[in-house]
């Protein structure tokens, strides 16, 4: 990420929230932003925009544009992510520690070795990142249940599963940080991926505002997000959607 940002550092604004977009008489778009560090609101004028926000954000940002899209048709599933610092990883059945580690017949989708790309031959500590899809109920109910749980209740869910995968891991855990993504993953609902509604969401606004987000694929994986970004950039360069 740092290598990609390096050559563009003079053109990147961080800690800056875009909260309004409006069409201008000259055909450009007026962007209103707020910088959380400086507490300054600023207007920018753009000929072309790539908007990489999920559709429930676009629903609010694009209130000044008539897109005729049913944003409620986009269904997002909540997830829990836990970053777990351990001073050792007890042995378990199956293959040794990999980048992506999935256990059989458990509620989660396993964990990744967050230090997989470190060059050290040995490490005193490791961080594993554990992913739990909250899909026992329909998304709205699952979100309410997730936000009502406290830290200890999340521990009661996560640690017993880790003990199944790695017996004795509890004593090796030094810290656990939890984060709930209430709308983390687009769900490929019935009749969604090839729907007219999704096709409209992918279409640019007057070849001025172009869209890039994994939810435009209907499947929430990195490769799809990457594809949508490249596709939007090509549209801008070609001057059309």
Q: In terms of Cα–Cα distance, which of 23, 44, 22 is closest to 34?
A: 44
What span, in angstroms and rounded, lies between the C-alpha atoms of 28 and 34?
20
Token look-up 């004795």 returns 168
Q: Tell me the mean pLDDT in the region 186-190.
A: 88
Token pair of 161, please?
A: 């599963």
Name the 3-class secondary structure at 76. strand
Q: How far is CA 37 from CA 16, 34, 66, 98, in A?
A: 8, 9, 33, 40
Beta-carbon neighbour count of residue 19 at 10 Å?
11
| Alpha helix positions (H), 95-195 | 139-148, 151-165
Collapsing DSSP to helix, strand or coil, 184 comes out as: strand
Over the stretch 42-76, which tens digit does the pLDDT of each residue have? 999 999 999 999 999 999 999 999 999 999 999 99
Record the tokens describing residue 26, joined without a space.
């000259």
The count of other CB atoms within 10 Å of the CB of residue 179 is: 10
pLDDT tens for 75-115 read: 999 999 999 999 998 988 888 888 899 988 889 999 999 88
What is the DSSP pairing of strand 49-51 with strand 209-211?
parallel
The pLDDT confidence band at residue 232, using thresholds 50, 70 and 90, is very high
Q: Which domains does the chain have, with CATH numbers?
A: 2-74+198-238 (3.50.50.60), 76-186 (3.90.660.10)
**Residue 38: half-sphere exposure toward Cβ, Cα within 13 Å:** 10
Q: How far, in Å, CA of 64 to CA of 23, rounded?
A: 7
Structure token digits, residue 30: 């007026």
pLDDT of residue 207 exceeding 70: yes
């Amino acid at each position: 990420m740092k290598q990609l940002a390096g050559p563009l550092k003079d053109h990147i604004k961080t800690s800056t929230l875009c909260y309004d977009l409006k069409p201008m008489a000259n055909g450009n778009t007026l962007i209103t932003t707020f910088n959380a560090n400086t507490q300054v609101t600023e207007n920018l004028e753009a000929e072309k925009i790539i908007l990489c926000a999920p559709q429930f954000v676009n629903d609010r940002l694009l209130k000044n544009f008539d897109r005729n899209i049913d944003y409620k048709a986009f269904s997002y599933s909540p997830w829990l992510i836990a970053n777990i610092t351990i001073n050792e990883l007890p042995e378990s059945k199956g293959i040794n520690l990999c980048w992506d580690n999935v256990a059989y017949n458990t509620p989660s989708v396993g964990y990744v070795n967050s230090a997989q790309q470190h060059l050290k031959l040995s490490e005193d500590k490791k961080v594993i990142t554990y992913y739990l899809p909250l899909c026992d109920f329909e998304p709205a109910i699952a979100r309410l249940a997730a936000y009502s749980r406290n830290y200890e209740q999340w521990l009661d869910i996560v640690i017993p599963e880790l003990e199944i995968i790695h017996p004795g891991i509890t004593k090796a855990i030094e810290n656990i940080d939890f984060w709930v993504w209430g709308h983390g993953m687009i769900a490929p609902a019935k009749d969604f991926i090839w729907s007219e509604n999704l096709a409209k969401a992918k279409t640019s606004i007057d070849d001025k505002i172009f869209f890039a987000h994994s939810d435009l694929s209907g499947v929430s994986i990195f490769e799809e997000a990457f594809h949508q970004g490249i596709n939007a950039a090509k549209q801008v360069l070609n001057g059309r959607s």
